Amino acid sequence: MLGSAPGAGAITLALLFGLDFVGATLDFMGFSDEKATSRILHSYGTQIVRDQLRILGTYVVVGALLGAGGAWVGAWWDRVRSSRPSVAVKLARGVGAALAGHAYFFARSVVHYPQLYSESFYDRGGWRRAAMVWLTEHVSTPRLDLALALLVLMSLALPLMYREGRALAARWSRATVTARPVQWVAAVGVVALLVSLGVAARRHSRSAGGHRPNVLILAVDSLRADRVFSPDGARRFPTLASLAARGVRFREAHVTVPRTFPSFVTLLTGRYPHHHGIRHMFPSAAQRAAIGTSLPATLRAAGYRTAVISDYAGEIFSRTPLGFDGVDVPYFDMKTIIGQRGLQVHPNVLPYATSDLGRHLFPAVDALPELSDPARLARRAITEIDHADGPLFLTVFFSAAHFPYASPDPYYRAYGSPDYAGPYRYQKPPLAPAPANEADRQQIRALYDGAVAATDAAIARILTRLKSDGLADDTIVVLLADHGENLYDLPERGMGHGDHLRGSAADHVPWVWVDPRHGFPAHDVPGIVRDVDFVPTLAALLGVAPPPTDGVDLGPLLRGERGDLGLAAFAETELWFTSNGPGFSPEERLPYPTITGVTDLAADDDVFMRSEWQDTITVAKHRAIRTERWKLVYQPLRQGVRWTLYDIVADPDERADVLAAHPEVARSLQHRLQAWMLEDPRMVLRGDFVVPR
């Protein structure tokens, strides 16, 4: 075996296993924390060894297969030339085929998902950076596929130039001519007829489905409202613009907590976080089990098939009982984190680990933020649509627009400058240093827009299938986001969401409702609406009794009877992962440790918030109330509570505190905000502080 081409190929790629360890590091969610690293190695050493052996085995198997391909091509040459190769020639063929095949798969993966390789190549500078930049700027996946096809074709065709090869080709040609073309045409026609009949039957059965309409929730992580409603957004994201043009556009939709986990639970239960209990990204199993009744559970009881499909940011649905029949999302726990890091130190195995087969061998791949591919998500959503029987409530949650703003070829380079050479060429990791200049900030926005464009194209595929299946006129489509995003619009407000309540970029989200069953005319709704209003509104449209909610039915706004309902939007911050940042520097917050100091591991490897920090984190939250004209912010500090008031009509960027000029307005809003916070039965008022009983 070792003296054969497959053996040589296996050994060749196995050598890459050791090469990948050069410069490798182990960290915890981006933190190089010695204590956390030591604990990981002690507690998960067996898993790490097992994962590394699986990676080594992948190298060996792939190398052997590539070497076997080289042996097969060599055997074809030997047959044509009637020659007997030496052992050295066989080994050379195995090594050459393994290196050539790996070079193709590796280059293709780098071009398609460069974010996976940024740490190992671009960030290290030198020839690695130069090679990666050249590949991603001058090579595309279709070109690589064409080059491979030409190489294989030439390797098979060149031997036919020899006299023996021409004779062999002539014999094959005569054998092909003796076949009956009519038989082949008839067989192809029968297959085409059967397929067309099957498609027609499926479309007929779906279009003649149940009385209640289908519901398709198109949720895009971190999607800003201006990317849907602005003229520039319409030019870059035509599918989102088309949806908005034919739907009801809620121009002032706001979420309560601009982080994915609490935001989605609020959206799907219709209750505020202090009622459903999810206040941060790391609730315990008991807290997740106690959220109460949700809309998907209500619809499931009413006969709906309820399903959710997502990539990495949708892992929350795998850990939380929200009432979905089908949950096609990654799982997130410490084992997943360990598995991801084990793969990331082996860039040469990533092309195979990210393939369809590789994802079965390495399930942690699906939870990689650098691997969010909206097109792949669209294929899974279309499969769910095709196989659903009866009314369907489907939530498709796209993660690409969440940092690190990773999108596949060609979207990651669609809006950035090819001359950009800074640290954010391919992605913006959440804990990377703040950008040093405007070129950095522009590149980060370009990455974000590329991710939104990739999502836009994927949504187009879903809507096209919905129409071709005859379901478009029987499906309520809602476009929304779990939160918005700060994108250095003002440098002092940073990037991301949930850390502060300055401005509205993080809590202001797009809502577009397209409802062909009820025939709502396309129009703008200027009044404030909240995430808690989603459940009672959709339940009313579907004719089901909603679970108990804190929201109201927005039916009058959908029907165009009114432009607003006089609602106020409330908001609160979430967990601070680090000790410092824009809007939560030490002098702007109540302190507590970083994420590695406030979280722990359950027996089932689930990451959860330690109980001794729960109250501190809740008390430290900033809160806000927004009306059509005013916004009041509550900021608890060591020296007391800081109140700030903004006139958001005259000052939409919220730069000037006008509390001193409008004390009556501030006092009225303060009472309303405190009353909202005190709806939490565990909290009481001490001075201006809202604290646990």
Same domain? For 618 and 657 the reply is yes
Residue 186 lies in a domain: no
Confidence of residue 422 (pLDDT cuts 50, 70, 90): very high
The four Cα atoms 497, 498, 502, 504 give a dihedral, to 10 degrees, of 60
CA distance 120 to 22: 10
Between 492 and 647, where is the model more confident?
647
pTM of the full predicted structure? 0.91
CA distance 631 to 569: 9
Domain boundary (572, 597, 620) is at: 572
Confidence of residue 29 (pLDDT cuts 50, 70, 90): very low
The four Cα atoms 577, 582, 585, 589 give a dihedral, to 10 degrees, of -70
Omega within 30 of 0 (cis) for the link into 410: yes
Query: Three-class SS of residue 555?
Result: helix
Domain boundary (120, 155, 176) is at: 176
| Each residue's pLDDT tens digit, 217-258 | 999 999 999 999 999 888 999 999 999 999 999 999 999 999
pLDDT at 173: 57
| Each residue's pLDDT tens digit, 512-552 | 999 999 999 999 999 999 999 999 999 999 999 999 999 99
pLDDT at 393: 98
Q: Is the separation of the CB atoms in 250 and 529 below 8 Å?
A: yes
pLDDT at 317: 97
CA distance 118 to 113: 9
| Each residue's pLDDT tens digit, 118-141 | 988 999 999 999 999 999 999 999
CA distance 87 to 219: 58
Residue 330 lies in a domain: no
Residue 341 lies in a domain: no
pLDDT at 542: 97
How confident is the prediction for the chain on average, in pLDDT? 90
Tell me, rounded to whole angstroms, the distance of Cα 414 from its chain centroid: 19
Q: Is the separation of the CB atoms in 357 and 282 below 8 Å?
A: no
Same domain? For 538 and 623 the reply is no
163: pLDDT strictly greater than 60: no
Residue 329 lies in a domain: no
pLDDT over 70, % of the chain:
90
Confidence of residue 21 (pLDDT cuts 50, 70, 90): confident
Distance (Å) of CA 490 to CA 194, 417, 471, 502, 571:
59, 21, 43, 10, 20
> In 3D, which of 38, 14, 9 has the Cα closest to residue 26?
38
pLDDT at 117: 95
Confidence of residue 23 (pLDDT cuts 50, 70, 90): low
Domain boundary (572, 603, 632) is at: 572
pLDDT at 166: 55
Same domain? For 415 and 520 the reply is yes
Average pLDDT over residues 552-562: 98
**Terminal Cα-to-Cα distance of the chain (whole angstroms):** 73
Work out how many domains the chain is built from and give that number. Answer: 3
Same domain? For 665 and 560 the reply is no
- CATH label of the domain that carries residue 655: 3.30.1120.10
Helix %, strand %, coil % of the chain (to 5): 50, 15, 35
Distance (Å) of CA 174 to CA 165, 170, 187, 661:
14, 6, 22, 96
- CATH label of the domain that carries residue 404: 3.40.720.10
Q: Is the separation of the CB atoms in 80 and 172 below 8 Å?
A: no
pLDDT at 25: 60
Same domain? For 16 and 158 the reply is yes
Question: Is the Cα torsion angle 253, 259, 261, 266 positive or negative in sign?
Answer: negative
594: pLDDT strictly greater than 80: yes
Confidence of residue 205 (pLDDT cuts 50, 70, 90): very low
Phi, psi (deg, nearest 5) at residue 402: -80, 145
417: pLDDT strictly greater than 70: yes
Same domain? For 105 and 235 the reply is no
Distance (Å) of CA 183 to CA 190, 192, 197, 496:
11, 14, 21, 62
Same domain? For 535 and 592 the reply is no
Residue 367 lies in a domain: no
H helices of 210-321, where? Answer: 226-229, 231-236, 238-245, 260-269, 273-276, 285-289, 295-301, 316-319
pLDDT at 558: 98
Residue 579 lies in a domain: no
| Each residue's pLDDT tens digit, 281-319 | 999 999 999 999 999 999 999 999 999 999 999 999 999
Strands 305-310 and 392-398: parallel
Residue 192 lies in a domain: no
Residue 364 lies in a domain: no
Structure-token pair, residue 250: 């809620």
Average pLDDT over residues 77-106: 90
Same domain? For 232 and 108 the reply is no
Between 590 and 183, where is the model more confident?
590
Most confident of 87-91, 151-155, 624-628: 624-628
CA distance 249 to 256: 19
Same domain? For 489 and 620 the reply is no
Same domain? For 636 and 509 the reply is no
pLDDT at 39: 75
What range defines the domain where residue 652 resides?
Answer: 586-682
190: pLDDT strictly greater than 60: no
Same domain? For 555 and 652 the reply is no
Same domain? For 407 and 529 the reply is yes
Q: Is the separation of the CB atoms in 257 and 574 below 8 Å?
A: yes
Count other Cβ atoms within 10 Å, centred on residue 327. 18
Average pLDDT over residues 566-580: 95
CA distance 244 to 280: 31
